[in-house]
Structures are given as structure tokens and as C-alpha cells.
């Protein structure tokens, strides 16, 4: 199957923080792949702006190395890398000072799409926005892209939104949650809304419960200072898991358009009940399996921050009354695996009697690794021996289902950056969504902070704390295995 690539309009994309880690690992390799696929017109230009003391040649070297390191060998070639590098510029800019701004202003063309990627610490957004305007670089047509973390509570998120709103309209702001750029996550919407099969069953009458798991094997070393302030709830649940929950729970939008989709997501967040302390399990990994403990990784022996969290959440509306959503995410778990599992209820009456091997239908949407979907259905076990039931997966691995193209699933960043250039905000978070998510998160965090709740230790390489198992067991359910 040949992928259909629709070229975007000519653009100038300025990456503030273009020499940083995110640019190296995600933005630059992602742009190269879009270039190689023919999605960028010849007039496209990428301008890195940062405070690094380098020139254009050194930045191109940086970009060449990033492509080599983060794009698989069979997806790159010397000719297209060289052509791609020709599109790159570098300007040394000081976001706090006046250095570099006139040079940057002179580079930017007024008659192409202009996008500014704020790949710098959020504390710099205000100055950055002000200087873009002071130097007449940004106008009402340009777009700005901002990265997580979008605030660390409601007050800081509001302040950030207000800072951006001083200079840009909401229609110009693209808040990235890269989970929304994942192919499987978009497929979740296709499966729900482009098929008649699932939607009639997509409610509390037929869905027993939903599990959302984002498990990582890595610890927090390297970003300990940030993480110890945030913890799993603020680093992962408030944004990524919340977005997945919204896509599962939302009503069908009337159209696949930015505000139609985001309105429906916002309604889900607003419908979330406050979480009871008994429905939360917090954990912190201890040393073991050759790994340092969380406390050692962050250099704080007294840390009360959670590196794991499991929650039971209720969406209080007609559709979902009585169907719990179980969320869990953590570091140093047994495998890297992200998935959503929708477990359906038993048929109302079994004609086969008890104990014939019946299991629930489960729709598993796998985000990583091995993106794809599986639907567990019951069939008769082949052969003689009476009517014994057996569960088999109807399996749609993307790599297999889509042939060669499936093996080349675009990285979330590629898709999202091209959406910015196209001016499509559907897969970006709106300001009110982010604020609503914080409004739900803040009291939960405040409650455990007030009683100095200590997370339960768990072994590195395990499935998390024991109590997380209990969270499900007491409801007569169990977590799915965390497996790669
Ligand atoms: P980084 O520290 O690696 O890079 C920071 C960049 O900002 C550098 O290019 C630096 O030159 C530039 N910079 C810093 N101060 C400046 C100033 N005064 N003037 C001009 N340029 C300045 O950071 P990063 O890891 O690339 O992260 C960038 C943003 O993306 C942050 O907001 C971060 O939270 C977010 N983010 C990063 C990742 C990741 O994987 N690295 C993931 C999600 C979100």
C-alpha cells in the first residue's frame, strides 16, 4: 500500500530551543521524515533559534547527527539528508535580551505560513511572545506551538494561558500532547466513529470497565528535579491518560473538526467525579534488579512523590454511570507498554452453561510497542469433545494489516507538526481543556499533600505496588498483564 502524501503549503518554521534535547530526538528527525516523504514543498524552511554559540554549519551538523541517530537506516539516504539540511538556518537568539532578533526578523518571509515552536522551558514563553511581537515577527496569522508541561496546577496553567492570550488568539495556539499524534490514538476515533459495530455497545450497559495503562521501564534519572516536583499524576495522568480517557468516553462529535472534537473532550473532563482517596494507589520504586531507587535517582531521601499511580475514575454522565475507568502509569515497571482495554459485559444468558471456558470480549488498543488493535472473541474450540469455548483474538497489527506502509508508522511529532502547518488544531489541546484537567487534578494532589501521604514502595521491574492489584480485586476484576 502506498501512502498518500499531500504536500503542505510553503512555510517558515522557527524552532526556539532548536539545539535542545526535544529538537534533537523528535522535531528534527520528524521533519526530515516528512521531507523525505515529499510532504514539504521546496520553499519550506526550518530556522533553529537558540542561545547555543554555533553557526549555521554547526547546526546542520547537529541536525545530520540527529537524523542519523533517530531515523532508522532504511528510512534515510544521503541525498535527501543533504537536501533537507539545505533547508535549515540557524540564528543565535537570546530570549531575555535583544541579541539575534533583527537577524531572525530579516529571515522570516511574510508570504508563507509562519509557525513558532516554543521548545524551551515554559518560564520563557512570556518573554518569547513579547519579543516576537516587539520585533514584528508574529502577527495574527502565525501559529505557536507549546510543549508540555502546560503549568503544574490550575493557577500556573491559567497564568500561561493568559500570557499567550496577550499576544495570540486561541486559534493560533497549538498545545502539544504527543499522545494525540499517535496513529493508534487517531485510529481509536476511526474505530469508534467510522464503524457501526462498536458505538451501540459503547456505554455502561455493555461495557464492564475500561483499563488505561501507560507503563515505562525507565526511571526518572536525568529529569529528577522536574519529576520530583511533578510526580506521575501531574506528569502523565493530567495530560496523556486524561486525553486517552476523553477519546474513549466522549460523545460522537458532529464533525471531525477542532472545536467539535474538543468540545466533546471537555465535557468528559467536566463530568469526572472527584476521586476518593480509597480509589488512589501511589507507589515509588525501590532499588533492585540493578537499578537505583527513586530516592537515589532524584537525590531526595524524603521524597513523597509518586513514580506510580493507579486510580479508579468515574465519568458521571448517562453513558458511563456504573462503568469504572481504571488508570495506571508508572516508571521502572516490568515492560514498556501503553494500551487501552475496553472489557465488555457477559452475555445476559449463557446457553452453554457454566464453566465452558467463557471469557469477556475485550477490545485492546495498543499504543506502544506493536501498535494495533485486538478484539477477543469467543469461538468453539475446534474438534470433538462437545461445545467447549475458546477465546481467540481478532488481531489487527498495523504493521501486518497495512503492509510495508504499516511498518513505517509516522512518529506522533511528524503528524502534529504537519497539522500545525496545515492549520488544523483537532489534535491539540485547547486552553479550557487543560484548565479543566488541572481543576480535576489539583484537589486530588492537595488531599494527599495535606496528609503527607507516603507512596507504597514497589520493586523495579514489577507491575507496581500490591495495593494497585487490590484496587481491582476488591471490585472482582484484575489488571491485564503488563507485557511488551
Ligand atoms: P533543553 O534544555 O535540552 O534545550 C533548551 C533549548 O532552549 C536549547 O536549545 C537552548 O539553547 C534554548 N534556550 C534556553 N534558554 C534560552 C534563552 N534565554 N534564549 C534562547 N534560547 C534559549 O530542553 P528540551 O528537553 O529540548 O525541552 C524543551 C521544551 O520541551 C521544554 O518545555 C520541555 O519541558 C519540553 N519537553 C521536552 C521533552 C523531551 O523529551 N526533551 C518532552 C516533552 C516536553
Cell of 107: 529571515
Expressed in angstroms, the distance from the first to the final Cα of the chain is 27
| Catalytic-residue membership of 240 | yes
The single residue listed with the C-alpha cell 483537532 is 426
Question: Half-sphere exposure of 120 toward its Cβ, with a 13 Å CA cutoff?
Answer: 26
Confidence band, pLDDT 50/70/90 cuts, at residue 1: very low
Cell of 166: 496577550
Atom of ligand 1 nearest to the CA of 127: 18
* Dihedral angle of Cα 279, 251, 368, 272, to the nearest 10 degrees: -20
Across residues 243-263, what is the average pLDDT?
97
- Containing 49, the helix (H) or strand (E) segment is strand 45-50
Helices 78-86 & 28-36, crossing angle to 10 degrees?
110
Alpha helices, DSSP H only, in 135-201? 154-167, 183-193
Query: Cα–chain-centroid distance for residue 259?
Result: 19
Residues 197, 201: Cα–Cα separation, whole Å: 8
Q: What is the pLDDT of residue 50?
A: 97
Residues 1, 21: Cα–Cα separation, whole Å: 34
Distances (CA, A) of 306 to 241, 438, 451, 458: 16, 17, 14, 11
Nearest CA owner, ligand 1 atom 39: 22
Say if residues 391 and 356 touch (Cβ distance below 8 Å). no
pTM for the predicted model, two decimal places: 0.94
Residues 250, 371: Cα–Cα separation, whole Å: 22
Exposure letters 84-93 (e unless 16+ CB within 10 A, then b): bbebbbbbbb
Residue 471 has pLDDT above 70, yes or no: yes
Residue 405 has pLDDT above 70, yes or no: no
Q: How far is the CA of 153 from the centre of ligand 1 (A)?
A: 20
Nearest CA owner, ligand 1 atom 32: 121
The single residue listed with the C-alpha cell 537568539 is 93
Residue 308: DSSP 8-state = E
Across residues 54-80, what is the average pLDDT?
96
Atom of ligand 1 nearest to the CA of 93: 20
Q: What is the pLDDT of residues 410-419, one digit of tens each?
A: 789 999 999 9
For β-strands 337-344 and 362-368, DSSP reports them as antiparallel
Residue 315: DSSP 8-state = B
Rg of the Cα atoms in the chain: 24
Q: What is the pLDDT of residues 84-109, one digit of tens each?
A: 999 999 999 999 999 999 999 999 99
Ligand 1 site: residues with CB under 6 angstroms? 17-23, 50-52, 93-96, 119-122, 147-149
Q: How far is the CA of 124 from the centre of ligand 1 (A)?
A: 10
Nearest CA owner, ligand 1 atom 1: 20
Please give the backbone phi and psi of residue 181, each rounded to the nearest 5 degrees, phi first.
-90, -5
Q: What is the pLDDT of residues 270-314, one digit of tens each?
A: 999 999 999 999 999 999 888 899 999 999 999 999 999 999 999
Amino acid at each position: 500500500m502506498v501512502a498518500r502524501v499531500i504536500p503542505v503549503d510553503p512555510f517558515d518554521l522557527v524552532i526556539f530551543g532548536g539545539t535542545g534535547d526535544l529538537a534533537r530526538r523528535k522535531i528534527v528527525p520528524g521533519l526530515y521524515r516528512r521531507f523525505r516523504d515529499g510532504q514539504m514543498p521546496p520553499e519550506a524552511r526550518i530556522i533553529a533559534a537558540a542561545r547555543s554559540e554555533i553557526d549555521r554549519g554547526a547546526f546542520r551538523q547537529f541536525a545530520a547527527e540527529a537524523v542519523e541517530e533517530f531515523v532508522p537506516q532504511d528510512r534515510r539516504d544521503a541525498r535527501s539528508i543533504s537536501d533537507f539540511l539545505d533547508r535549515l538556518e540557524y540564528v543565535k537568539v537570546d530570549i531575555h535580551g535583544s541579541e539575534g532578533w533583527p537577524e531572525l526578523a530579516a529571515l522570516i518571509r511574510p508570504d508563507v505560513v509562519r509557525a513558532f515552536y516554543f521548545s524551551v522551558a515554559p518560564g520563557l514563553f512570556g518573554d518569547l511572545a513579547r519579543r516576537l511581537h516587539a520585533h514584528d515577527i508574529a502577527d495574527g496569522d502565525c501559529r505557536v506551538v507549546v510543549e508540555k508541561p502546560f503549568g503544574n496546577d490550575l493557577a500556573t496553567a491559567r497564568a500561561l494561558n493568559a500570557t499567550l492570550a496577550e499576544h495570540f488568539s486561541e486559534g493560533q495556539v497549538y498545545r502539544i500532547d504527543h499522545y494525540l499524534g499517535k496513529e493508534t490514538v487517531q485510529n481509536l476515533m476511526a474505530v469508534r466513529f467510522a464503524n457501526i459495530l462498536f458505538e451501540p455497545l459503547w456505554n455502561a450497559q455493555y461495557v464492564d470497565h475500561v483499563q488505561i495503562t501507560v507503563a515505562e521501564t525507565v526511571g526518572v534519572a536525568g529529569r529528577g528535579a522536574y519529576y520530583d516536583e511533578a510526580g506521575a499524576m501531574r506528569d502523565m495522568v493530567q495530560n496523556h491518560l486524561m486525553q486517552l480517557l476523553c477519546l474513549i468516553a466522549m460523545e460522537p462529535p458532529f464533525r471531525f473538526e477542532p472545536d467539535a472534537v474538543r468540545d466533546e473532550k471537555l465535557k468528559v473532563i467536566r463530568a469526572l467525579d472527584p476521586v476518593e482517596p480509597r480509589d488512589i494507589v501511589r507507589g515509588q520504586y525501590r532499588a533492585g534488579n540493578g537499578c537505583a531507587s527513586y530516592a537515589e535517582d532524584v537525590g531526595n531521601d524524603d521524597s513523597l512523590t509518586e513514580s506510580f499511580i493507579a486510580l479508579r475514575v468515574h465519568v458521571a454522565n448517562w453513558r458511563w454511570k456504573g462503568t469504572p475507568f481504571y488508570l495506571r502509569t508508572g516508571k521502572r515497571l516490568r515492560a514498556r507498554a501503553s494500551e487501552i482495554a475496553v472489557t465488555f459485559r457477559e452475555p445476559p444468558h449463557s446457553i452453554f452453561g457454566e464453566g465452558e471456558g467463557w471469557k469477556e470480549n475485550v477490545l485492546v488498543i495498543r499504543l506502544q510497542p506493536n501498535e494495533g488493535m485486538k478484539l477477543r472473541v469467543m469461538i468453539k474450540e475446534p474438534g470433538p469433545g462437545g461445545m467447549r469455548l475458546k477465546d481467540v483474538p481478532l488481531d489487527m497489527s498495523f504493521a501486518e494489516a497495512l503492509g510495508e506502509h504499516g511498518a513505517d508508522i509516522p512518529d506522533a511529532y511528524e503528524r502534529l507538526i504537519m497539522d500545525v502547518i496545515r492549520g488544523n488544531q483537532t489534535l491539540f489541546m485547547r486552553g479550557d481543556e487543560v484548565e479543566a484537567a488541572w481543576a480535576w487534578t489539583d484537589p486530588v494532589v492537595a488531599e494527599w499533600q495535606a496528609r503527607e501521604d507516603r507512596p507504597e514502595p514497589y520493586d523495579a521491574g514489577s507491575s507496581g505496588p500490591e495495593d494497585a492489584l487490590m484496587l481491582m480485586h476488591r471490585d472482582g476484576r484484575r489488571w491485564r498483564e503488563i507485557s511488551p
